[in-house]
Amino acid sequence: MTKPTVAVLFGGRSSEHGVSCVTAGGVLGAIDRDRYDVIAIGITREGRWTLASADPSAWRIANGALPSVLDEGATVLPPRRVGESQWRLESADGIAELGAIDAVFPLLHGPYGEDGTIQGALELVDVRYVGSGVLASAVGMDKQFMKAAFTDAGLPVAPGVVLRPGEPVASRRAEIEALGLPVFVKPARAGSSMGISKVSSWDALEAAVADAVKHDPKVLIEAGIAGREIETAVLATAEGVRTSPQGEIVTEGDHDFYDFDAKYLDEGHVRLLCPTELPDDVAAIVSDYAVSAFAAVGAEGLARVDCFVGADGTVTVNEINTMPGFTPTSMYPRMWAAAGVDYPVLVEALIQEALTRPLGLR
């Protein structure tokens, strides 16, 4: 029998390009090559789709540097119309057939991938893929609309102020200062904690906004919430929606919060506790909130929902990641491992969910 072909799609134009490559390395190492033919498609920082190495070792962090998709090799051309199953390769020698792809595993993080753009491109030509659709991906990427969806679903979120592109801090200064200190300044449509600053003095606000704008012209300024950083993995398959045991992030050393360096470059000063200890009633609330957040944005397949748990047991929903970090050491697979679902089994479940998903509106 012919094996299904799965394409792992990664890299991309966002500032999370390198993180996406590392995630791809983890998934490429976990896919059962006896069950699937695997194609690696990298997207360069400039946006060119290229046939990439399917060797997981090519996409590891080396000497503190994140990997990158280089502008070399044949250009990958997706199908041009509905009903056309063939993907093609374009090189100096002309156009060649790459073959049919049964499902895409889009491991893109941030804008131009996790935000619904890649999902929309695949929907246009009826290509199945892992994870959330266009709307859920877009809402999950934009923290302003994510919080609006959570609020509409009755979920507690931190108060915040959004600066639209080009809007000066001075125009919203009173509203911002009413949030109290500290505040967190975040790019509204970015992930991996890139461009996020903790502001403990109003004198530092302008610089923090300027740093966030490097990643996104729209900025969210959010009241700081004191509490433990608790995460929950959500998995939706034909068996229903399930949640993992909770995990907890504890930062140490010079990290005032779980920033980019703590996540990817300084693991020695971060402890990822999984499963973590929570009172049963609080753990139940966190799980319920994770399922509600998943439903609020219309997510599919997988997501990671992050919350803060205060000393009094109060739970505040921080965000949902519709394509969370997926290396073997990332929190999403680690939380499922705590439930007895190991990394290759998790990857297999997501691929099978994609392969059996109906095409078109659902």
What does the pLDDT read at residue 258? 52
* pLDDT tens digits, 318-337: 999 999 988 888 899 999 99
Nearest Cα neighbor of 43 from 77, 90, 10 is 10
What does the pLDDT read at residue 1? 66
Long-range contacts, stretch 53-61, CB < 8 angstroms, 24+ apart: 54/8, 54/28, 55/28, 56/25, 56/26, 56/28, 56/29, 57/25, 58/25, 59/10, 59/21, 59/22, 59/24, 59/25, 59/28, 60/22, 60/25, 61/22, 61/264, 61/265
Q: Crossing angle of helices 134-141/280-297, nearest 10°?
A: 120
Extended strands (E) in 135-202: 160-163, 183-187, 197-199
User: Who has greater pLDDT, 269 or 200?
Assistant: 200
Is residue 191 a contact partner of residue 140, using CB atoms and an 8 Å limit? Answer: no
Of all residues in the chain, the percent with pLDDT exceeding 90 is 83
| 72-76, 132-136, 209-213, 250-254: least confident range | 250-254
What does the pLDDT read at residue 360? 82
What does the pLDDT read at residue 66? 93
Q: Where residue 270 falls among pLDDT bands split at 50, 70, 90?
A: confident
Residues of the chain with CATH 3.30.1490.20: 160-223
Tokens, residue 35: 């069950």
Q: Chain-wide mean pLDDT for the chain?
A: 93
Angle, vertex CA 335, rays to CA 240 and CA 197, nearest 5:
110
Nearest Cα neighbor of 31 from 355, 356, 361 is 355
Count Cβ neighbours within 10 Å for each residue of 187-199 and write b for 16 or more, e otherwise: bbbbbbbbbbbeb
How far apart, in whole angstroms, are the C-alpha atoms of residue 103 and residue 5?
A: 7
Check whether 268 has a pLDDT greater than 70: no
* pLDDT tens digits, 28-37: 999 999 999 9
What does the pLDDT read at residue 27? 96
CATH topology of domain 160-223: Dna Ligase; domain 1 (3.30.1490)
Phi/psi at 241 (5° precision): -95, 125
Is residue 60 a contact partner of residue 86, using CB atoms and an 8 Å limit? Answer: no
* pLDDT tens digits, 167-204: 999 999 999 999 999 999 999 998 767 889 999 999 99
Is residue 230 a contact partner of residue 246, using CB atoms and an 8 Å limit? Answer: yes
How far apart, in whole angstroms, are the C-alpha atoms of residue 308 and residue 245?
A: 15
What does the pLDDT read at residue 192? 60
Is residue 197 a contact partner of residue 222, using CB atoms and an 8 Å limit? Answer: no
Nearest Cα neighbor of 16 from 140, 186, 195, 270 is 195
* pLDDT tens digits, 122-143: 999 999 999 999 999 999 999 9
Residues of the chain with CATH 3.40.50.20: 5-129
Q: Which CATH architecture has domain 5-129?
A: 3-Layer(aba) Sandwich (3.40)
Q: Is 228 helix (H, G, I), strand (E, B) or coil?
A: strand
What does the pLDDT read at residue 362? 73
Residues of the chain with CATH 3.30.470.20: 139-157+225-355
CATH topology of domain 139-157+225-355: D-amino Acid Aminotransferase; Chain A, domain 1 (3.30.470)
Extended strands (E) in the chain: 5-11, 37-43, 49-52, 75-77, 86-91, 94-100, 103-106, 160-163, 183-187, 197-199, 219-223, 228-237, 240-243, 247-251, 270-273, 302-309, 315-321
Check whether 290 has a pLDDT greater than 80: yes
Q: pTM of the prediction?
A: 0.92
What does the pLDDT read at residue 266? 45
Of all residues in the chain, the percent with pLDDT exceeding 70 is 94
Q: Where residue 267 falls among pLDDT bands split at 50, 70, 90?
A: low
What does the pLDDT read at residue 193? 72
Q: What's the average model confidence in pLDDT over 255-259? A: 50
What does the pLDDT read at residue 261? 46
Q: Where residue 254 falls among pLDDT bands split at 50, 70, 90?
A: low
Is residue 304 a contact partner of residue 234, using CB atoms and an 8 Å limit? Answer: yes
